[in-house]
Structure 1
């Protein structure tokens, strides 16, 4: 501002006293004092315009009252609001009535405003915008839903579901093996409805045999059980269920079922044989021999019992007694069993130092020695090579082939063992075990041979 005033005073002096030219040297040339004064006047005019515009723009913002922050509406805030309102309110008009204390004129309602006061209110409203009134909204207090379980105290209870267990009936699932020895096996169970009549039991028993033949032991056990539920004295159903349990490796349960079959039919020689087989799988050789003997007593021409008892005698060192049992098995056995009984008879005679070839030649005349199983007799008679036996064991049915290989590998091991080739014999005994046909007599016999040779614990 001082620059502007100096410029105005100088121009006034020049106007009264006349122009005085004074040269000033600049970088661009010679500048007279008169030209310099005119430039200053123009710059002062531009500065005035800029200052006025700035004052115009700044005034409404400075007139606004300071914002009221929520939570600071105390006495200091109310005093500042009152001071700003009083400074911006126009002075009250003098009243004709005397008043003891000066006070502002009450603001008239919009309906009662006079013509002279209306413009003032509009101008004042335009120049001094009042802050909007603060509206306090009372929020209702939220209450939880009426529920017996609240998030703070509620806790989800985990329900532990016990694992499913097979349904056990006292008919064939006693609680402990010792209880079976002390208590009678005659347990009455209520008849089951929905399965049919007792006369339908043979149908279920037949279906159980079909499932067992296919190796479906669980389904077989179900069918045998249904037959038993219809007829609790059905010995054949107990017998079939015993072999199904034995197929699953449940030797104890197999023995219980065979015992129940014997209780239903005391002269059931096959049930004694089944119980002897289960004891033999549990390495109870003494009990197994007793059961095989009972089976022979119940059925004197029971060739399978003679053969099984003879094998146990053979591996228990009683080879001469075993020889007699093998001879009886050959005499009473069917055409299917006779070749195996004759092979065991020959091996027992060879182990005891006898020449078994004459017996082998005499009793094999009526047999076909070119096909299975007679081809194995031809092997011990030195009529065929060992590989011919392996070829004859081949079958289109994989299950039957494994069963044939189990028998072939065992007798090939016996052939090499009798010829003094222990390593080759052990190789074929191991191949016998690799077939996995555990329900064949040759499988267990191969294990015993390897133990005798010290190659299996």
Structure 2
């Protein structure tokens, strides 16, 4: 009898210790995540879930936390061109977010995060489904733009433009989302749909709305004008006078101001950008240079030069960027 009582007490203590261990691991995992110690956080979340006695709320926290860490590691893998690793890590994140949704189906934040990972894995229909479900919970302008990006990536331009237009109609926009952001997003989609006049109109609106607040940003104004110029060029319009007027305060001695100087015929293509030793930053510069000058060449009818520049853009642009997507769409059209 005494032995039975002692065994029962031991079992209770063992179970209590397991539960305490699970909660302790979860707290430690959250702390590691805050310290951006991704590998440590993933290991601790895994231990916490293995305890198998977390409350439903704690399981939800652990699944969401581990999913976010997998997503972050996937982005790092992509940055170093380890795309197979990036996809595998996002698959892990998607599995965790799916498990979280099985615990709480109406968690809008998890739907958005899973949708983003589906998008990055080029599973656009699944991404659109998640963004649509999130929109039923909260009709957010930023979520409309995320769904529009997935629709644009799969070539559903009409639907993407409609989402951007709907986002413009929402007065209470999400924090950090400016109205000129929305005009730009619709402009990118119109550009990819070969509606160059409409794209130019939206890029022009974005510039007019954002120029004052972004005047101190040495990148925003030149890149905004670059998109406006190539939309005009593809529409067959000579915008030299307007471009010269709008770029008056841009330095034409350093990138990306030199890009505008090239568009105005003030410098040669080979003088637009000096080689950069800044790794990813340098590749981003070459990515933009290749895309914008390729589009400018298309506007001038220099198709072979354009093809070479767009091929280079596909080589150097991050596969998740708009520039990579646009270059691929143009190259596909050139084959037809």
If the length of structure 2 is used for normalisation, what is the TM-score? Answer: 0.65
Partner Cα separation in structure 2 for residue 282 and residue 254 of structure 1: 11
Alpha-carbon distance change, 315 to 229 in structure 1, aligned in 2, over 3 angstroms: closer
Q: Does the aligned pair in 2 maintain the 1:447–1:456 contact within 8 Å?
A: no
Q: CA RMSD in A?
A: 3.4
Q: Does the aligned pair in 1 maintain the 2:168–2:179 contact within 8 Å?
A: yes
For the pair 1:236 / 2:109, whether they are aligned, the reply is yes
Pairing partner for 1:348 from 231, 254, 271: 231
Alpha-carbon distance change, 228 to 338 in structure 1, aligned in 2, over 3 angstroms: farther
Deviations 1:308-329 (A, max 9, x none): 3223334545433222211122
Pairing partner for 1:439 from 320, 323, 335: 320
Pairing partner for 1:329 from 185, 206, 211: 206
Structure 1 portions without partners, runs of 5+: 1-190
Pairing partner for 1:293 from 124, 148, 165: 165
Structure (1 or 2) with the greater helix fraction: 2
For the pair 1:365 / 2:248, whether they are aligned, the reply is yes
Deviations 1:91-129 (A, max 9, x none): xxxxxxxxxxxxxxxxxxxxxxxxxxxxxxxxxxxxxxx
Structure 2 portions without partners, runs of 5+: 1-52, 79-85
Deviations 1:299-347 (A, max 9, x none): 4944343223223334545433222211122234554544333112122
Partner Cα separation in structure 2 for residue 337 and residue 212 of structure 1: 27
Q: Does the aligned pair in 1 maintain the 2:56–2:103 contact within 8 Å?
A: no
User: What residue in structure 1 maps to residue 311 of structure 2?
Assistant: 430
Q: How does 1:19-30 map to 2 (within 5 A)?
A: none
Pairing partner for 2:91 from 209, 213, 218: 218
Q: Does the aligned pair in 1 maintain the 2:141–2:167 contact within 8 Å?
A: yes
For the pair 1:319 / 2:201, whether they are aligned, the reply is no
Deviations 1:263-291 (A, max 9, x none): 2212x112111111212222212112112
Q: CA deviation at 1:410?
A: 1.2
Partner Cα separation in structure 1 for residue 278 and residue 101 of structure 2: 37
Partner Cα separation in structure 1 for residue 268 and residue 205 of structure 2: 30
Q: How does 1:410-421 map to 2 (within 5 A)?
A: 410-421=291-302
Partner Cα separation in structure 1 for residue 290 and residue 322 of structure 2: 13
User: What residue in structure 1 maps to residue 278 of structure 2?
Assistant: 396
User: What residue in structure 2 maps to residue 193 of structure 1?
Assistant: 55
Give the structure, 1 or 2, with the largest relative contact order (CA under 8 Å, sep 6 or more). Answer: 2
Matched residue pairs, number?
Answer: 262
For the pair 1:406 / 2:287, whether they are aligned, the reply is yes
If the length of structure 1 is used for normalisation, what is the TM-score? Answer: 0.49
Deviations 1:189-228 (A, max 9, x none): xx97366287788856764663354244235435655765
Partner Cα separation in structure 1 for residue 163 and residue 203 of structure 2: 17
